[in-house]
Structure 1
Amino acid sequence: MVSAKFYFLVVIEALLFICVRSEELFAKQQIQSYVSCRNDADCKNNSFCYGNDDNTYGKCKCTEGFELNRINATDYECLPRVYLGDACEEDFQCQLVATPLAVCNDKKICECSPGSHSVQRKCFADVRLGEVCMVHDNCLLSDGTYAFCVAGVCTCRKNEAPSPDKTLCLGSRNLGQPCKSDKECISVPNARCLEKCVCQTAYTLSRNETECVKAATEFGEPCDFDGQCSKFLSESVCNKGVCGCLPGSHKYGSRCVRTKQIGQSCEKNEECIYKKEMNGNVRCENKKCMCLFGTNKSGDCNIEKILDGEGKNAASDVISTKSLLFSVINILFVIYFT
């Protein structure tokens, strides 16, 4: 009984014969023309009469180092085999050595076609990370290094991650891990490198400390947890999905301060200013919140000053502006009637 091993060897030998025979036929087609000849003089430059004898016509065949270019059924030329960077006449001269991705450019020089690159005198298709590849040489990165063709896909090393444009392999560092450049932190959106991967200025650590989330810069902005509020709004908390202050405190500028009513003990003026209109009309004096211009019938402080966001007297500014306008009008009036 014939063993399975015997059949396996027969199949292998048959495949090898087919491959070798195919290569021979290909070589014959490449170097042998259809032009009949009696002797070498019947053939063109860089070719000779092959397979002829006294009674038989041969065929013109290119000499070694030259390749056949069939112009038509009765005409041909033998052109030298060339490499990338060499002078050429036709694309096929370049492609014999540098793969079918090579071309003879407008300057008659062999080069790789657009969308491909050269490696050791051969052209390979450009393949981005995550795309289908044939060999490692397809996976050229924008920094001149190579990724790996794994299971037919260009892939970074285990500890690296693709850049957003899929042209670089970057260090896959997590928040808090040491780094040397921002590129190493790119696997975490909105992160940067400051000796270790941290969130960018406008962002803060997420609740589970694995992401960077937008930090609030004004009271009333949406939030998911207190850390989003307190980075820029001191002492603020996330209450019902928006940034605000705890009960017993109020917002003052970009921070939360304790709320002190008129007559209560205090440390700073802003503790007494729990309403916008109280700014400039109430202050902490002798460790107690006091009205500067007395109180009205309802017991509230009299409002004599109206301050803008910078603490300036807005009313005074209006009066000054009006006075300036009247002065200009008077000057123009005098000039016109004199």
Structure 2
Amino acid sequence: MWSAKVFLILACILHSHSVLSIWTCTEDTECSLPQGSVCEAGMCVCPAGNQLVLGGTACAAAAPYLTSTCRDDLQCSNLLTSFQCRREEDETEGQCDCQPGFHYFVGRCWKSADYGEVCERSEECLGALRDPYNMACDEGRCTCAEGYYERQRGECRKAGYAVGDGCILDEDCKFTNGACNPSTFTCVNSASPTTFTPTIKMKTNATSSSGSLSRSHGNACSASSPCPEPFLCSAFGACVCARGYYPNTAGTQCLAELGSPSTEAQCTGFMAVVQDGVCGCPANVYFDENMRDCVKATRRITDSCVTDPMCHTFGAASICGPPDEDNWYIRSCECVPEQAVWDSERNMCRLFAGIGESCQVNSDCLAGTQEITCELNELGQGVCTCPVDTVNIDGLCLTSGLSLGEACQMTQECTETEHTVCEEGRCSCSAGYEERDDMCLPTIGSPCLEDAECVVNNTVCLNAGGTSTCQCSAAFLEYGETCWPRLSHHTQSCNVSLQCTEYLGSGSNCTNATCQCFEDHHFRDDRCWPKTGLFEPCSRSSECYLGELTDRVQCRNSLCQCSFYFPYSEAHHTCAGPDGMVSIPGGSGSSVAVSSIFTIVAALLYVLLH
């Protein structure tokens, strides 16, 4: 018993030694895996500031910030939740970002919820107008935050209630004679000549002073060798900035992302300003996706632009249009024609109004392809209203009683002809039905009442399980919405392979209008069977195959063997004839008796042994 225990202990020691030998080393050159690892304290490990990626096969620099270069999703884990390494399909490297449906704010990814959508926290509320402060979560729904006004459906803008408040448009200044000074982007009293000097200064470029400080970001660190402030020692042994901050180019300071507490020196992004101790963007200037810079706002629809967010001064339905070939290929803002119309009085792309919503003129209203009118209600307010002879169904003005082939918007309109749906703007037969004589009649598998309803040739109305459907008649097979005749002999011509497989089995197909067996099958007993050679397992004699001599083999004891009338020839691995003769491959019809072969072999052995 003790010897068995000793053997077990020795086996464990040997096994542990073999495992450790994979990771142990004496110098860096011995560390081939993980790729990029170094030898430290006799072990192959990733260098300081690096982490394992690609399933533990390589080392790569940790990517602690939004937009950090990455190769693996795991590198972006500092974004806490719903992160990814976003890269093009043909690229091996990308940038850390949030997954689709999420947005980044103050060091982590949040699930995005637009105006009116369900939310749990205000950080989740973010729409097309990228301002993480313009909406708040109120009673489980995203709505305009305090101090913001709803300019139009779901578009919340910062309101200026006094002279000196920030603005972009005159409409932002919500007091008597309020107007926006285009030079200072602050609200002024248009009736007063007094000028106002803003207390907030917008930066036009990102600058930071590193002074005489030495680089600290990325340097190795440990519990015994901490990082200088404000850097922190990461789990991968390198100095990094805290969440919500990022290093300057020199690696000597940590700068504030938009939304993070900040000093003037830390808030260096494009046009970024410090308000109430937090780095952010001026009123109604939107946030760049990198959460470091602000997006330059345009004030006129004709202003030049580079990206869509620059045009969001005019609403979410405004975009940066294509280059103008006649104007030095300069791009300018424009409204999305399918969503909005330009309102010069309010200086915005006014969203089309739906049925029952307020309007000023007919062109404000949109509900499908119908011409909707703007009618005054009892209070004298304009309301988008359906025309006469139409009804409001799910926000669309629809007619009813449309027949097959008539123009439509929704299926609810196609009621005159049975079994119709609205497809591509026309009432058409629904799936399982075919147009015949201005009617939609059932095809194979569709419900029916009598044979005459079934439009496919050779179909009848059959009742199965209490339901009557159009099916192929008994002498036909269904394939591809067509009924094909069943074959009564394998020599009959075919149209589809189903005709062959139904008669000859699954090892056949239709080739050149003729049923043929697959190459690994053979024809026997009116079926196609898998070719099963001598002494191979079988379940019936039809499976056994021996080329032109197939009629000499049969299935006995679950093996293909020569029948009793055709003895097995070991010399030729075939079944001999009743007289013991076999055909010699490649011969010209000559044969030799099996007994003679054995005699010759015996004679040769005798000569060799004596």
TM-score for the superposition, normalised by structure 2: 0.23
Q: With a CA cutoff of 8 Å and minimum separation of 6, indicate the structure with the bigger relative contact order.
A: 1
